[in-house]
Amino acid sequence: MDEEMITACEEDGTPIGIATREEIHRKGLWHETFHCWIVEIEDGLPYIHLQLRSPDKKDFPDLLDISAAGHILAHESVMDGVREIEEELGIEVKFEELIPLGIIKDQLSLQNFKDNERCHVYLYKAAQNLDETYHFQKEEVAGMFKFDFQDFADLCIGATERIDSAGELATAKTPSQKSITLADLVPHGESYLEQVVKGIQKELG
């Protein structure tokens, strides 16, 4: 598999060159990513879908994550990021169907891994049940769980420490993960999740 080439940039988004994914994370270079959070409306109530990362993933295996996300490659525009949804989840979504939540900076520093992202964040509000529609990319995704959105928001802002899933969306065999804390999620910068849930709340009305 060819090494991903990514545009490195300043914190304000000004491009400064092209680097490999490994170099981006080793040096902590700013770069741009695509994040799509899927919220399904069921019987008038919103449920957020969290991706369970494959146990084979190099970074953060077996943790819950954004519904679909990925790096914007050097030859791509932000609009091309929508490919991540089809590649990872097997559902076709047009860029025009996404609701922009803005650019949220997300910074994380771990041993040998420095992630400085300018995240182009979007909401996909699904009016239909997606359970039978998902077809997961097994190398990336082990399954999907849904959570009451307000429960998830409370977890992200620190109003509660543990929440229970509202169901396992299983087109792939996944562990029976029902009760989670923030430790079960891929780690993010201090305010990233809080900004995301506030943006989604605003769009849900």
Long-range contact list for 56-59, CB < 8 A, 24+ apart?
Answer: 56/139, 57/140, 59/113
Backbone φ, ψ for residue 9 (5° rounding): -145, 170
Average pLDDT in the 82-100 region?
Answer: 96
Percentage of the chain surpassing pLDDT 90?
Answer: 83
The answer to whether residue 93 scores a pLDDT higher than 80 is yes
* Burial track 2-25 (b if 16+ CB lie within 10 A, e otherwise): eeeebbbbeeeeeeeeebeeeebb
CA gap 168, 124 in Å, rounded = 19
Helix axes 192-204, 149-156, angle to 10 degrees: 150
CA gap 183, 160 in Å, rounded = 13
Q: Kindly list the domain boundaries of the chain, sorted by start residue.
A: 5-204
Which residue reads 């029976």 in tokens? 176
Q: In the chain, where do the E strands start and end?
A: 5-9, 15-20, 30-42, 45-53, 64-65, 68-71, 99-110, 113-126, 141-148, 163-164, 167-169, 179-180
Average pLDDT in the 12-18 region?
Answer: 98
CA gap 199, 176 in Å, rounded = 30
pLDDT for res 174: 59
The answer to whether residue 1 scores a pLDDT higher than 80 is no
Is residue 154 left, alpha or beta, with left meaning phi > 0 and alpha meaning psi from -120 to 50? alpha
What CATH number has the domain spanning 5-204?
Answer: 3.90.79.10
Around Cβ 99, how many Cβ atoms within 10 Å? 17
The pTM (predicted TM-score) of the whole model is 0.94
